[in-house]
């Protein structure tokens, strides 16, 4: 995709200073600008870079007056940051504009496919599944039987959705994600073997959810594992059977949540956190990275750290103590020595 | 799948109380019952829900006498819990009853395929591979060359099995699992570069093993990485080259086991545990979640926690001490103050 | 693949002692040798095994004189270890010798494919992508639009490479890896919702990089996430947007690196490490497994442990103190008791 400075200025309601015919074909940071790239100057901290950048085109504030010579061509706009966001979004929309049906694919006769969808090669859609309008199923996506996918949702390459699961509108599910694998349920038998407990529930993912690459969300034993609307999950996260994650909660990469735990709304959970099963986590709770949560957190907005985790301020104090343990030990030895002396007086 | 109350009663050798023609098409928990769903009452704790449930049909004990009006239709049986388990199992079997060969697929001429198999679309089977009877290979499964898969094993969508690996009977391998990727072996060279050590062993998975979504099991450098019979692995687990996991050991999600470590039988290992390479872990050992194991555990049945881990009772005591470190420090300061006074007397 | 002792002796410039026509079809460790397998004796520690091994053929030093009867046939060479490495490599090359184009596949007309490539069934290659010579794309690989892949690189089954990413020469990318998924970037809004920040950068992977199964590397928001030449990444690793990993750095399984962090050259990072975003890690730094890195490490060659991590020697001392905390507490109680006595004197 290639655009002239003038085309971009028109899109942003700005004006060109320099060559309106100069062409750009990608976006860059101002400090990494190269010929052919378009960038922006919003933060005055970065102003120095405008005199050295090799970018062909820079979006600047309409008030901007250069102090020295600027090689790059400029587009002057009211709000450079916002304008760049508009460009990002436009760029993204164009690059995500695929539509139509690629071959080969395997779609059950009983499946219903919405309008203006993109169905890539090697996509599989099972019996009775319903795919909404403007949905994009990238190559290699697997949709089992009786699955429902809402409008405007994108499933990137190789996403697998087991039977009976439900995905809402406007979701982004990244490559390699598995939705609806069996929960990890085994009943110990008398002979120390394990009997698999059938996992016949499903996964429900509400609207506006984003899920990162290779994350795994297990189906419920009975009922549903539920990801509420607006939840953002990073890559390589484990969500076990019958978990519920509340609205607009954000979870960083490689965190794991064990079975039947219920996470509140607007929580922020760091990376590599582990949460054991059958807990309840209140709304707006924040959990530091690598923490282990072994008991329910009932206080809204609580902030915790550690494994097992407790109030983050106390954890930080304890950890300072941990670092000073050899010194602490030396102080105790000194006390013991003095006391021995005092006793022997 | 839709059944009448009478059909289900016949299956369970029970009797209908209510409308024998009422139809149900899914299972639910009693507290989440909806019209069209079937549930059960086994635990007296949940008896209250039978008066409020919207389920169309409830399996109850043959002794059950309602105290108030019950909207739902009932099926009376000898053991409601067991009956429900029978239903779960039947339901699961029906939903897993796929058979036959879907198009397109790519199967080498030299491969041998058993009877009554299901081979989904986009399945790839390499040279000389042998697939047992009643095996189900869901869409997008990749089987390399010289692979053997026993009878009654299911590989869910997108499982990849590299060449030369062996999988036993009655295994369940979930979506996105990778079996037989190269072990992580690199020999440092004089110039600080690394030379890849060829990984030419394989992975052997014995009977009745279950492996969760997106777990990765590396092939051995030489010889075999071995998962013994009855082992249950959760999602996103890392099993490095030449590891051996003993019979009926259960491992929770996101745990990692480094190269050549040998885990005993009947162990229970929590989530996000890390075990370093070349260790031996005795039978029936239990490891708490997020622990780090840096040395072999020789005592059968040992229970450990921490990173590095030690006996769980001691860990819990130390952790209480950790939480009280600021207080401990204050006590020592107080002692130092008093002793100074005593010395100056 | 089956070879006679004589064929192998010729390849290794060695001489056969025993039956030159004996056939072997696989490699094994000496202690696990079976009829039909070939092994080697390099370390005198293992000499005992040569008298008991069931291997058909053993590579030994030309100086080797057995003390007792040896069942196996021998090949005498100058350097048994090196010879075995040559064999491993030869074996590997033969097993990785696939070439040609399997059906079905989907390759855009605008894509350019090099010479002597292997393109497996169900491979997808998008618009304007360029695939180098001798590249192997195993079945089910997905290559988006505008992707460049250098010469001699292998992508194992089911690897997904999003649009605009660049992969160098001689790389090995294992099954299930996702390259170029969206970075985890969301701007909090006034209404506590999150607005997705478009992720329009790419991933650049330089030459000689190896990446383990199911690892996820996110594309940059703007600019590039960069994996420098010679880097080795194990399985199930998370690399966030705009991260840079320096040349020849090695990272073990399940480690996660948050956004915009820059890791130095020749670092060694253990498994399950977490590194927060926007840090700089100096060259040759070593990080112990399960550590958490919360601040930049500026000292070249620093070795750290803990969460948060500090110098490993100090960590080990503090951890000894942690294990003795109950004892420390008892010592303080004793001191408090004695001091009370002294005060009351």
Is residue B73 domain-shared with residue B197, that is, in the same domain? Answer: no
Q: In terms of domains, do C119 and C235 share one?
A: yes
Domain of residue A21: give its range.
Answer: 3-95
pLDDT of residue C310: 97
A143 & A260 share domain: yes
Is the bond into B130 cis (omega within 30 degrees of 0)? no
pLDDT at C42: 85
- Token pair of C234, please? 């194990």
**Chain segment C262-317, per-residue pLDDT in tens:** 999 999 999 999 999 999 999 999 999 999 999 999 999 999 999 999 999 999 99
Among residues C174, C241, C248, C278, the one annotated as catalytic is: C241
User: Which residue in the list A174, A208, A241, A248 is annotated as catalytic?
Assistant: A241
CA dihedral C325, C330, C336, C339 (to 10 degrees): -120
Instruction: State yes or no: pLDDT of C95 exceeds 90.
Output: no
How high is the ipTM of this complex?
Answer: 0.90
Residue A241 designated active-site:
yes
Report CA-CA distances (Å) from C122 to A4, A306, C106, C221: 38, 46, 7, 30
Assigned domain for B330 exists: no
- The answer to whether residue B335 sits within a structural domain is no
d(CA A261, CA A249): 14
Give the end of a domain, one of C64, C95, C126: C95
Q: For A207, what's the count of Cα atoms within 13 Å in the CB-facing half-sphere?
A: 7
Residue A1 has what pLDDT? 60
Is residue B117 domain-resident? Answer: yes
| C175 and C262 fall within a common domain | yes
End-to-end CA distance of chain A: 90
Residues of C whose CB is below 8 A from A120? 124
Contact B160 C172 (CB under 8 A): no
pLDDT tens for C52-92 read 999 999 999 999 988 899 999 999 999 888 888 888 878 77
Percent of chain C with pLDDT over 70: 100
Q: What is the mean pLDDT of residues C131-145?
A: 98
Output phi, psi for A170, to 5 deg: 55, 40
Does the model's pTM come out above 0.95? no
The mean pLDDT of chain C is 94
Nearest to C212 by CA among C243, C177, C247: C177
Same domain, B104 and B76: no
Q: What CA–CA distance (Å, rounded) separates B241 from B255?
A: 15
- Torsion on CA atoms B25, B28, B31, B36, rounded to nearest 10: 0
Residue A9 has pLDDT above 90, yes or no: yes
State chain A's mean pLDDT as an integer: 94
Exposed / middle / buried, residue A231 (Cβ in 10 Å: 0-12, 13-18, 19+): buried
* Assigned token pair, C167: 């992969």
Do residues B280 and B261 touch, judged by C-beta distance below 8 A? yes
Torsional sign, CA A307, A308, A313, A315: negative
CA distance C322 to chain B (A): 6
Place of tokens 């013994």: B228
> DSSP letter string over B39-96?
EE--SGGGHHHHTT---SEEEEETT---SS---SEEEEES-HHHHHHHHHHHHHHHHT
- Residue B45 gets which letter from DSSP? G
- Give me the residues of C, 39-68, that contact B with CB < 8 A: none
| Rounded Cα distance, C290 and C281, in Å | 17
Residue B326 in domain: no
pLDDT digits (tens, 9 = 90+) for B247-271: 999 999 999 999 999 999 999 999 9
**What residues of B are in contact with residue C324 (Cβ under 8 Å)?**
318
Q: How many Å separate Cα B228 from the centre of its chain?
A: 14
Say if residue A113 is in the same domain as residue A64: no
> Residue C5: which H helix or E strand, with range?
helix C5-12
Q: How many domains does chain C have?
A: 2
pLDDT of residue B124: 98
CATH of the domain at B280: 2.160.10.10
Q: Could you tell me if C337 lies within 8 Å of chain A, comparing CB atoms?
A: no
Would you say residue B33 lies in a domain?
A: yes
Strand order in the sheet with A57-61: A15-17, A73-77, A57-61, A37-40, A26-27
Q: Is A342 on the interface with C (CB under 8 A)?
A: yes
Chain B interface includes C155 (CB < 8 A) = no
pLDDT the model gives residue B225: 97
Task: Say if residue B80 is in the same domain as residue B148.
Answer: no
Q: Are residues A134 and A178 in the same domain?
A: yes
The alpha carbon of residue A336 and the mean position of all alpha carbons in its chain are separated, in whole angstroms, by: 54
Contacts of A232 in chain C (CB under 8 A): 184, 186, 194
Strand partners, A216: A178, A238
Extract the tokens encoding B156.
């869910």
Task: Tell me the C-alpha distance between C223 and C228, whole Å.
Answer: 15
Please tell me the least confidently modeled range out of A191-200, B262-271, C217-226: A191-200
Same domain, residue pair C46 and C156: no
pLDDT at A53 over 80: yes
3-class DSSP state of A26: strand
What CATH number is attached to the domain comprising C57? 3.40.1390.10
| pLDDT value of residue B1 | 60
Tell which of C35, C61, C95 closes a domain.
Answer: C95
C143-C147-C152 Cα angle (round to 5): 85
Which regions of chain B are under pLDDT 50? none
**pLDDT tens by residue, C141-172:** 999 999 999 999 999 999 999 999 999 999 99
- C72 in any annotated domain: yes
Q: Which residues in chain C are closer than 8 Å to B344, comparing Cβ atoms?
A: none
Task: Mark whether A179 and A309 lie in a shared domain.
Answer: yes
Buried b (16+ CB within 10 A) or exposed e, A18-36: bebebebebbbbbebbeeb
Same structural domain, C136 and C29: no
Confirm whether B168 is domain-assigned.
yes
Taking alpha carbons only, the member of B227, B27, C12 closest to residue C3 is C12
Amino acid B171: pLDDT: 98
Domain end (from C95, C123, C153): C95
B114 in contact with C at a CB cutoff of 8 Å? Answer: no
CB within 8 Å of chain B, chain C residues 241-280: 248, 250, 252-254, 266, 271-272
- Residue B142: inside a domain, yes or no? yes
Do both B199 and B88 map to the same domain? no
**How far apart are alpha carbons B269 and B286 in whole angstroms?**
6
């Amino acid at each position: 995709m290639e655009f002239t400075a003038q085309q971009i200025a028109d899109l942003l309601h700005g004006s060109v200073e320099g060559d309106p015919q100069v062409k750009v074909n990608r976006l860059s940071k101002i400090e990494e600008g190269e010929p052919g790239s378009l960038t922006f100057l919003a933060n005055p901290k970065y102003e120095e870079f405008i005199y050295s950048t090799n970018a062909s085109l820079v979006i600047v504030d309409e008030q901007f007056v250069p102090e020295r010579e600027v090689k790059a061509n400029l587009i002057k706009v009211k709000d450079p940051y916002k304008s760049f966001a508009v460009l990002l979004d436009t760029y993204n929309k164009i690059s995500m504009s695929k539509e139509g049906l690629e071959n080969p694919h395997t779609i059950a006769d009983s499946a219903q496919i919405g309008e203006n969808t993109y169905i890539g090669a090697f996509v599989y859609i099972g019996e009775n599944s319903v795919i909404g309008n403007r949905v994009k199923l990238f190559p290699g996506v697997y949709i089992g039987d009786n699955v429902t996918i809402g409008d405007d949702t994108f499933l990137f390459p190789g996403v697998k959705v087991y039977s009976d699961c439900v995905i809402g509108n406007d979701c982004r599910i990244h490559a390699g994600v598995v939705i609806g694998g069996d929960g990890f349920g085994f009943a110990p038998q008398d002979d120390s073997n394990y009997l698999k407990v059938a996992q016949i529930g499903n996964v429900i993912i509400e609207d506006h959810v984003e899920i990162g690459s290779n994350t795994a969300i297990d189906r419920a034993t009975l009922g549903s594992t539920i990801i509420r609307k607006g939840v953002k999950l990073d890559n390589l996260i484990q969500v076990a059977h019958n978990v519920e994650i509340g609205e607009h909660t954000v979870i960083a990469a490689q965190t794991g949540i064990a079975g039947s735990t219920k996470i509140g709304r607007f929580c922020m959970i760091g990376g590599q956190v582990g949460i054991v099963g059958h807990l309840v986590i209140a709304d707006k709770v924040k959990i530091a990275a690598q923490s282990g949560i072994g008991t329910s957190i009932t206080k809204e907005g609580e902030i915790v750290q550690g494994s097992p985790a407790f109030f983050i301020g106390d954890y930080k104090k304890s950890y300072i103590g941990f670092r000073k343990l050899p010194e602490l030990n030396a102080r105790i030895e000194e006390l013991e020595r003095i006391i021995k002396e005092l006793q022997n007086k």
